[in-house]
Structure 1
Amino acid sequence: MLSAILYPRYSVLIIAVALFAATSCQQNSHINAAKAKSNTPAVTAPANAEQADTSSDDAPLAHFKHEAFNEDIDDLPPAIAQFVPGGYTAIDTATGDLNLDSWPDMILVLKKNGEDTTSDVSEHPEKRPLLILTGKADNTWQIAARNDNVVLCIDCGGAMGDPFMKVVIKNGYFSIEHYGGSAWRWGRVTTFRYAPADAYWYLYKEGSESFHATTDPNKVTTTIKTTKDFGKVRFDEYDTYKED
């Protein structure tokens, strides 16, 4: 069943943050990530942008379109596509054992259609739901959890554009990777772990790195927070938009 629903995703960007050993892949250079993503502009203007009506201070904003890092996934199998609400499209998937029952599970990251023109990071960020689907022995799926505040919006990455990179699953853990900034770059990996006693997922670690891309890219500040810092946080209660 795994081969029937797994779609390999090849990331063109290596994120700046080291993934935790229990949850993700090999650590990569933040400098490579900065160089790779800096080639993609945060927003693009139409060819006739110079002719746009500028009679109002707000008018030009309607002509800009945010660029998404991940492409739309339009070929989900029907058994998975049924969980995508109307008006939304999947932009990332990951498959693995999320609840340690040996059956393959899946994470879907969704976007609201039209987010590239309607999202406003300051006033109205368009939320991107993350769905946890657990697989059953009869080859069916069910939604085990959902959080609309764990994946950042399309224009939440500053000058670097869309900050969402990917989601990774490994043996009851899953991590969400973000990368963004301008001259000051930042990366973040948020990791959740399954608790068998509660049959649910809780925040496990949150790691971040920052550096200045032009003045001193090799001087990296790293911060790692654990349950000693944030306590017991359920997956569905985590809010990346909430200020510390």
Structure 2
Amino acid sequence: MRKTIYLLALVFMLVHNINGQEIKIPENYTIVDSIKGDLDNDAINELVVAYNVMPENEIDGVPRELVIYKLENNQWVVWKTSDQALYGSKDGGMMGDPYGEMDIKNGILHISQNGGSSWKWGFTDKYRFQNDEFYLIGYTSLAGKLCAYWTDIDFNLTTGKMIVNKEFEKCENEEQQFYKSENETLLEKDLKITLQNRQEREIKITTPKYKHEVYIAIGKE
């Protein structure tokens, strides 16, 4: 317990020192990760923090929340929040914590998560601030199992273009051999997903040629 408090204090000081201002951590919240960068093209960096929203439960894990702060009058002020952008701390299955990393590139917020066991999955969401909301503009994923198949998805929600590549493989004498691929490009326009409603409903797209089922959102239980 003492070690946990010490590590939390270090994370808090890191945020304080890098950004020059303290942030008020909500009661019972703990910081998972934080980054800063300009998300609204005003030449002023925002602060993005991933939180556990309650004390850690080693069996069931805990939910997470994403909070984006703006600097106003030299103080960090909550700007946007989402309880759907991040999976819970145990939602990675046998691999445990699904959180990968966050990054900000050219004003775009990237969030990567992954999990699984022998069957593995991983994806990256890309959000852009427009019309006063953070919209999902890109989704890439890789899922599959060694010696079975791997499915690679690249979905540009701005243009609606989705590329689906499925590579089948087998293993003989401990060597991987690719023996078949199914590649397909389709258009799925007018799909509007925001940071706030990221997992609000299940979104499944079935490709017309090979009938691959692509889950963009799994929906909240």
* Match 2:44 to one of 83, 103, 111: 103
Consecutive unaligned residues in structure 1, runs of 5 or more: 1-70, 121-125
- Equivalent residue number for residue 117 of structure 1: 58
Asked if structure 2 preserves the Cα contact closer than 8 Å seen for 1:149 and 1:241, the reply is no
- Equivalent residue number for residue 224 of structure 1: 154
Aligned-partner residue type, residue 160 of structure 1 = M
- Equivalent residue number for residue 153 of structure 1: 88
Q: How high is the TM-score relative to the length of structure 1?
A: 0.59
Aligned-partner residue type, residue 98 of structure 1 = L
* Per-residue deviation, residues 210-234 of structure 1 (Å, max 9, x unmatched): 1314x26xx5310123333461222
Q: How high is the TM-score relative to the length of structure 2?
A: 0.65
Work out the CA distance in 2 between the residues paired with 1:80 and 1:233: 31
In the TM superposition, 1:27-42 aligns within 5 A as none
Deviation at 1:104, TM superposition (A): 1.0
SS at match of 2:58: helix
Deviation at 1:175, TM superposition (A): 1.1
Deviation at 1:132, TM superposition (A): 0.8
SS at match of 1:154: coil
SS at match of 1:116: coil
Deviation at 1:98, TM superposition (A): 0.8
* Match 2:133 to one of 197, 200, 210: 200
Work out the CA distance in 2 between the residues paired with 1:210 and 1:101: 37
Percent identical residues: 24
- Equivalent residue number for residue 81 of structure 1: 23
Change (3 A) 1:118 1:148: farther
Structure 1 residue 174 corresponds to structure 2 residue 109 = yes
Structure 1 residue 242 corresponds to structure 2 residue 178 = no
* Per-residue deviation, residues 95-143 of structure 1 (Å, max 9, x unmatched): 11011100011100000342233636xxxxx32000011224x432221
CA root-mean-square deviation: 2.3
* Per-residue deviation, residues 149-168 of structure 1 (Å, max 9, x unmatched): 11111111111111101111
Aligned-partner residue type, residue 200 of structure 1 = E
Work out the CA distance in 1 between the residues paired with 2:218 and 2:52: 16
Work out the CA distance in 2 between the residues paired with 1:127 and 1:241: 16
Deviation at 1:203, TM superposition (A): 0.9
Work out the CA distance in 2 between the residues paired with 1:118 and 1:99: 39
* Structure whose residues are more often helix by fraction: 1
Where relative contact order (Cα < 8 A, 6+ residues apart) is larger, the structure is 1
Change (3 A) 1:128 1:204: same
* Structure whose residues are more often strand by fraction: 2
- Equivalent residue number for residue 31 of structure 2: 90
Asked if structure 1 preserves the Cα contact closer than 8 Å seen for 2:29 and 2:55, the reply is no
SS at match of 1:237: coil
